[in-house]
């Protein structure tokens, strides 16, 4: 059998080739090919282009053929913001929210992140892994091939290390790529809240005990902080992110989700890889992001799940020239979804992004937000053969259909990891 694979029969291939990152009008450039073909060898793309051109290559003639039957092919989604490891849903809080309680009220009463931390601390690593593996299969079934995963429901040394260790094991044991982020600064844990200077003491523990363990054991690549009302202040966030950076962990920030704290400008100042949420940004924040290399990652699943009216100003960010990316923010409190296509639907209807912009934001710009744009995020010669095939005739139908899954096949490094029955 040949080691090369020739993929043909695509009504449309969205290559997403071209300059990275995408800003402004370049966000809608999909590198569209009608009746295209892809040649894959050893998990990498050898050629992507019009079928007639790719088929001329001697290697293409010898390759095993795979016809995708008139469907649409695009790069696998890169989900650059998830809280993959958690013990259980928070359906009990969902019901309270529907009855009128706010996310912050629930958190103040010991619900929210603290509720998830309580559940995670008593969960075994096996149970957590089983749940995460099931979630990863669901991500793959919706066309996602790379998933960033944050710790942050442990909030003590052993539990945070348990989560980060699982990121590593899962990365090795199943096909999706897991990008690990240390989010010890998700909230101040319950046992520190009753102490004088509790936040200060918890940060000391994070910086002096946890961070060196994380770095020495190479358990994370990024460091994140939830900088918001009820979580960490701008100054506290700066301390954690700067220490992380000194230890070689690139910053990412949960910024301006519930209130305006100045987290966006902190992210820009620290040259963060990405600054996420941004529902409460102001004109100066937008300007700062537009003039930076920090990605602006929007998470419309949160507004949808919490039933909020306020979404991030995507149009203003795009028009100003910010590097807009999209992610699920898969987590039990604000965005329990593994579906990037659903996020694209929300990006179109709620953020007023076009289908093309949403697709670029969920692939090439998301790869940039994870500092992997040289390897993933587009279908170009030399890149990893990470792709999704959708049961649609036109790419605009990917966000157009919602609440149902049109993904037909997902491939990671040239291997089929999901195929609809």
To Fe ion, the closest distance from the beta carbon of 331 in angstroms equals 6
Q: What DSSP letter does each residue of 70-109 carry, written as one string?
A: T-EEEEPEEE--B----SS--HHHHHHHHTT--HHHHHHT
Smaller CB separation from Fe ion, 160 or 329: 329
Residue numbers at the binding site for ligand NIG (CB under 6 A): 112-113, 116, 226, 254, 257, 302, 329, 331-334
Minimum distance of ligand NIG from residue 400's CB (angstroms) = 26
- Which CB atom, from 302 or from 376, has the smaller least distance to ligand NIG? 302
- The alpha carbon torsion through 184, 189, 194, 195 (nearest 10 deg) reads -20
Bond prior to 21 in cis (omega within 30° of 0): yes
Strand-pair category, 32-41 with 44-50: antiparallel
**Least separation in angstroms between CB 26 and ligand NIG:** 28
When CB distances are held under 5 to 8 angstroms depending on the partner's kind, the choice from Fe ion, ligand NIG, none that residue 414 binds is none
- Closest approach, Cβ 291 to Fe ion, in A, equals 25
Would you say 31 and 75 are in contact if contact means Cβ atoms under 8 Å apart? no
The smaller minimum CB distance to Fe ion, of residues 257 and 345, is found at 257
Task: With beta carbons less than 8 A apart as the criterion, state whether 45 and 38 touch.
Answer: yes
Asked if 403 and 342 count as a contact pair (C-beta separation under 8 A), the reply is yes
Q: Please choose which of ligand NIG, Fe ion, none residue 392 contacts, taking the beta carbon within 5 to 8 angstroms, the exact cut-off set by kind.
A: none
If we measure between CA atoms, which residue out of 10, 140, 142, 1 comes closest to residue 66? 10
Side-chain-facing half-sphere of 238: CA atoms under 13 Å:
12
- Considering the complex, what minimum distance in angstroms separates the CB of residue 329 from Fe ion? 5
DSSP calls for 206-270: IIIIIHHHHHHTT--SEEEEEESTTSB-HHHHHHHHHHHHHTTPEEEEEESSSS--SHHHHHHHT
Interaction partner, residue 333 (ligand NIG, Fe ion, none; CB < 5-8 Å by kind):
ligand NIG
Q: How far is the CB of 375 from Fe ion (least distance, A)?
A: 24
Q: Restricting to residues 300-359, name those near Fe ion by CB under 5 A.
A: 329
Residue 334 contact partner, candidates ligand NIG, Fe ion, none, CB within 5 to 8 A by sort of partner = ligand NIG
Which residue's CB comes closest to ligand NIG?
333
Smallest distance, Å, CB 82 to ligand NIG? 9
Q: Which of 2, 22, 8, 19 is nearest to 354 (CA)?
A: 22
Nearest residue to Fe ion, scored by beta-carbon proximity = 329
Q: Residue 255 — φ and ψ, nearest 5°?
A: -125, 140
The binder of 116, among Fe ion, ligand NIG, none, by C-beta within 5 to 8 A per type, is ligand NIG
Q: Which does 294 bind (CB under 5 to 8 A by kind): Fe ion, ligand NIG, none?
A: none
Residue 226 near which of Fe ion, ligand NIG, none (CB within 5-8 Å, type-dependent): ligand NIG
Would you tell me which residues interact with Fe ion (CB under 5 A)? 329
């Amino acid at each position: 059998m040949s080691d090369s694979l020739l993929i043909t029969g695509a009504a449309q291939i969205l290559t997403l080739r071209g300059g990275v990152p995408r800003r402004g009008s370049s966000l809608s450039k999909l590198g569209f090919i009608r009746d295209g073909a892809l040649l894959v060898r050893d998990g990498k793309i050898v050629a992507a282009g019009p079928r007639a051109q790719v088929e001329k290559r001697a290697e293409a003639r010898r390759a095993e053929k795979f016809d995708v039957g008139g469907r649409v092919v695009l790069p696998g989604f890169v989900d650059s913001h998830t809280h993959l490891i958690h013990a259980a849903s928070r359906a009990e809080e969902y019901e309270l929210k529907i009855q009128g309680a706010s996310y912050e009220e629930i958190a103040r009463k010991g619900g929210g992140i603290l509720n998830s931390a309580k559940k995670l601390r008593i969960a075994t690593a096996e149970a957590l892994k089983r749940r995460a593996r099931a979630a990863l299969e669901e991500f793959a079934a919706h066309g996602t091939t790379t998933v960033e995963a944050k710790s942050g429901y442990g909030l003590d040394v052993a539990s945070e290390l348990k989560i980060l260790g699982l990121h590593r094991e899962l990365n090795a044991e199943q096909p999706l790529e897991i990008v690990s982020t240390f989010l010890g600064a998700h909230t101040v844990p319950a046992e520190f809240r009753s102490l004088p200077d509790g936040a200060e003491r918890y940060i000391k523990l994070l910086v002096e005990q946890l961070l060196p363990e994380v770095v020495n054991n190479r358990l994370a690549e990024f460091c994140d902080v939830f900088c918001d009302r009820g979580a960490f202040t701008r100054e506290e966030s700066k301390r954690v992110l700067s220490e992380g950076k000194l230890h070689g962990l690139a910053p990412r920030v949960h910024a301006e989700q519930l209130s305006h704290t100045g987290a966006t400008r902190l992210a820009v100042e620290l040259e963060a890889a990405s600054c996420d949420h941004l529902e409460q940004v102001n004109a100066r924040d937008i300007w700062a992001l537009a003039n930076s290399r920090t990605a602006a990652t929007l998470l419309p699943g949160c507004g949808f799940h919490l039933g909020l009216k306020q979404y991030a100003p995507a149009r203003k960010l795009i028009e100003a020239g910010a590097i807009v990316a999209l992610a699920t923010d898969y987590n039990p409190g604000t965005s329990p979804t593994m579906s990037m296509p659903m996020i694209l639907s929300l990006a179109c209807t709620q953020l007023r992004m076009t289908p093309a912009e949403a697709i670029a934001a969920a692939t090439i710009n998301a790869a940039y937000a994870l500092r992997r744009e040289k390897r993933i995020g587009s279908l170009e010669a030399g890149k990893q053969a990470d792709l999704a095939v959708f049961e649609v005739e036109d790419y605009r139908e990917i966000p157009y259909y919602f609440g149902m899954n049109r993904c037909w096949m997902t491939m990671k490094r040239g291997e089929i990891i999901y195929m609809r029955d």
